[in-house]
Amino acid sequence: MKRGFYLIMAAQFFSSLADNALFIAAIALIQQLDGPDWMTPMIKWSFALAYVLLAAFVGAFADSFPKGRVMFATNSVKIIGCLTMFAHASFGLADHHQVYTVCAAYALVGIGAAAYSPAKYGIITELLPPEQLVKGNSWIEGLTVVSIILGVVLGGALISPKVSTWLLSLDLSPGFGPDIQTPAEAAIMVIALVYLVAAFFNLLIPSTGVCYPRQQRNPIKLMATFGCFVATLWRDKLGQISLAVTTLFWGAGATLQLIVIEWGRVQLGLPLNKASILMGVASVGTILGATLAGKVPLHHALAVLPMGVVMGLVVMLMPLAYEPWFVYALLIAIGGLGGFFVVPMNALLQHRGHVLLSAGHSIAVQNFNEQLNILLMVAIYSLMLGMQIPINTIIIIFGTLVACLMLLIMGWNRHNHRTHPDLDLVIGSRAHGTALRGD
């Protein structure tokens, strides 16, 4: 791997680390402000909304400038969102309205993340040849999962009584704006420093030398063109399968994060700082699965589809888990199955997107579909919470849905291969932007 690849990995790690730690801090802040239960999933919902609303524009933005500079600029937007959350009490709103400021601030972080993602993934396709994309994706997914583990653990640690008391004693107030008065505010200031570390690595990323044609700037034409890009990937017989899988996985993964926190609180009696560690335990499994998936050749990516069905079935064992060893083993198994089947699918999707479109546009299409599903699944989860459906019933519904949808996708894939027996021969093509040129 080239030196620039490792700089990208470092920048991605610290930016994602801060995103996930800030998510825990935001939940703590909402609890501090006595926000309603349904506001916690709405934090995740507001973050995902930016991906959907900006999908038509961020691909063109990522392909208009060197991607290292795009990553720096969008990471700066995250810093602004983080500081806005810190200053939530400075806008003259009542406490019960300040929760909406917290939600809006995390939505601003989502805007930065939405524009960051096409640059982050797109630069990988610029640096690496097709045969190294699975390995490269194994790296980036593995480090992303590590950042999720450490992010939720960091967020949980920062709001824990012992650490927060120590942080408050240090008087970390920035010298402007409000003073730090609560554990959540102290955590947010530490997280802002992590974003600054990510910005440092962003500045070190070299240009790949890849130049794209001048990008469209008319918003109406961008949206129309983006619609064509979405249709192009969904029409492609390999792209549609990998896109369906990754769309399902990320929607399910985001919902599962929220389910695990609620499950830990209700079934295991854990406070937020300890329930957040359960998310980290599941992510340990995802690292193991992603590492094993790095050995799967791109040509065999579709062979991992049955792991998605197994993951849905294993999720349904959660209501039976009470003993710590069973809880941890179950969460590691769920994470491992998810990591093993999503990494090859992600690599195949990026490969087909690069062949058919461009790095930035293909990742924007992927993000649009994945985040749209996150909006849908998190909204349904919020609705079920609002209806006071027991968390274990929600888990059974969730696991059944994942398993059944994966079975449908496997049947779809078999149909594609029956009607196009030579379909796998196009995997590994070094062509680029064929749909843009009308090839």
Domain ranges of the chain: 1-203, 236-438
Assigned fold of 236-438: Growth Hormone; Chain: A; (1.20.1250)
Q: What pLDDT does 130 receive?
A: 66
Q: What pLDDT does 292 receive?
A: 83
CA separation for the pair 105, 347 (Å, rounded): 32
Q: What pLDDT does 212 receive?
A: 62
CA separation for the pair 45, 14 (Å, rounded): 22
Residue of 36, 101, 81, 47 whose CA lies nearest to 188: 81
CA separation for the pair 17, 307 (Å, rounded): 27
Helix (H), strand (E) counts: the chain: 15, 0
Per-residue pLDDT tens, the chain, 439 aa: give them.
Answer: 567 788 888 888 999 999 989 999 998 888 888 877 778 888 888 888 888 888 888 877 777 777 778 889 999 999 999 999 988 877 777 777 788 888 899 999 999 998 887 787 777 777 777 667 667 766 776 677 778 778 888 888 898 888 888 888 776 665 555 677 788 888 898 999 999 999 999 888 877 666 666 666 777 888 888 888 888 889 888 888 889 988 998 888 888 888 888 898 888 888 877 887 787 788 788 778 877 887 777 788 888 889 889 999 999 999 998 888 899 999 999 988 888 888 888 888 877 877 787 666 677 788 789 888 988 998 898 888 888 889 999 999 999 999 999 999 999 999 998 988 887 777 766 666 666 665 5
Q: What pLDDT does 397 receive?
A: 94
Residue with tokens 């389910």: 259
Q: Which CATH number fits domain 1-203: 1.20.1250.20, 3.40.190.10, 3.40.630.30, 3.40.50.2000?
A: 1.20.1250.20
Asked if residues 5 and 67 have their Cβ atoms less than 8 Å apart, the reply is: no
CA separation for the pair 303, 31 (Å, rounded): 44
Asked if residues 114 and 366 have their Cβ atoms less than 8 Å apart, the reply is: no
Q: What pLDDT does 112 receive?
A: 92
CB within 8 A of 67, min separation 6: which ones? 119, 120, 122, 123, 126, 205, 208, 360
pTM (two decimals) = 0.77
H or E segment and range at residue 313: helix 306-315
* DSSP-based helix, strand, coil % in the chain, nearest 5: 80, 0, 20
